[in-house]
């Protein structure tokens, strides 16, 4: 009898682990940023990696009160005229098969810097992004929520 109980527990545990895993495309969709000011659409690119672009954002103002619509904080002067809407800020993410998307980069248009990044989901509606420089320990994690 004890042997059957142990087998049953192993079966239940294995089944729950198998069904809790994410699939690569679970990340696809529109996400609201942690501060609630931006909407990012994450999609699968033609090369099989995952990317994300800005599809909605609260308007930032310059010191004169004018709307900022271009990438003015970019360190490359040639890129400062790029429009913020439609700007690809998440690039080259690959699903590692173990609930994490890795090897990607994230660009922050507010400071003009790009960071290494990894992403994972708590559940189908909550996405964690950890941007960092060098090592993952030296970074910051944000939680985004799914819009659709």
Dihedral sign, Cα of residue 109, residue 111, residue 115, residue 120 = negative
Categorize the per-residue pLDDT at 15 as very low, low, confident or very high, splitting at 50, 70 and 90: very low
Residue 143 or residue 16, greater confidence: 143
Select the CATH number that applies to the domain covering 23-146 from these four: 1.10.10.60, 2.40.128.520, 3.10.450.50, 1.10.150.120. Answer: 2.40.128.520
Q: Which of 86, 142, 135 is nearest to 119 (CA)?
A: 142
Q: Which of 114, 136, 129 is nearest to 27 (CA)?
A: 129
Categorize the per-residue pLDDT at 10 as very low, low, confident or very high, splitting at 50, 70 and 90: low
Distances (CA, A) of 81 to 76, 89, 90, 142: 10, 15, 19, 28
Domain ranges (residues) in the chain: 23-146
Quick count: other Cβ atoms within 10 Å of Cβ 8? 10
Please report, in angstroms and rounded to a whole number, the separation of the first and last CA atoms in the chain.
48
Digit-coded pLDDT (tens) for 18-59: 455 789 999 999 999 999 989 999 999 999 999 999 999 887
Mean pLDDT of 91-107: 95
Q: What is the pTM of this model?
A: 0.81
What is the Cα–Cα distance from 21 to 98, expressed in whole angstroms? 7
Categorize the per-residue pLDDT at 107 as very low, low, confident or very high, splitting at 50, 70 and 90: very high
Digit-coded pLDDT (tens) for 120-143: 999 999 999 999 998 888 899 999
Annotate 110-145 with b (16+ C-beta within 10 A) or e (fewer).
eeeebbbbbbbbeeeeebebbbbeeeeeebeeeebe
């Amino acid at each position: 009898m004890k042997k059957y109980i142990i087998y049953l527990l192993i079966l239940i545990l294995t089944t729950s682990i198998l069904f809790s895993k994410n699939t690569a495309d679970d990340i696809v969709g529109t996400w609201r940023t942690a501060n609630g000011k931006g909407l990012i659409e994450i999609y699968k690119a033609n090369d099989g990696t995952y990317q994300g672009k800005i599809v909605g954002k609260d308007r930032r103002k310059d010191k004169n009160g004018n709307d900022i619509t271009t990438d003015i904080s970019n360190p490359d002067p040639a890129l400062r005229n790029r429009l913020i809407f439609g700007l690809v800020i998440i690039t080259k993410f690959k699903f590692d098969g173990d609930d994490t998307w890795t090897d990607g980069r994230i660009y922050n248009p507010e400071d003009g810097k790009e960071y290494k990044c990894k992403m994972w989901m708590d559940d189908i509606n909550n996405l964690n992004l950890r941007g960092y420089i060098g090592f993952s320990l030296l970074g910051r994690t944000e939680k985004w929520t799914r819009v659709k």
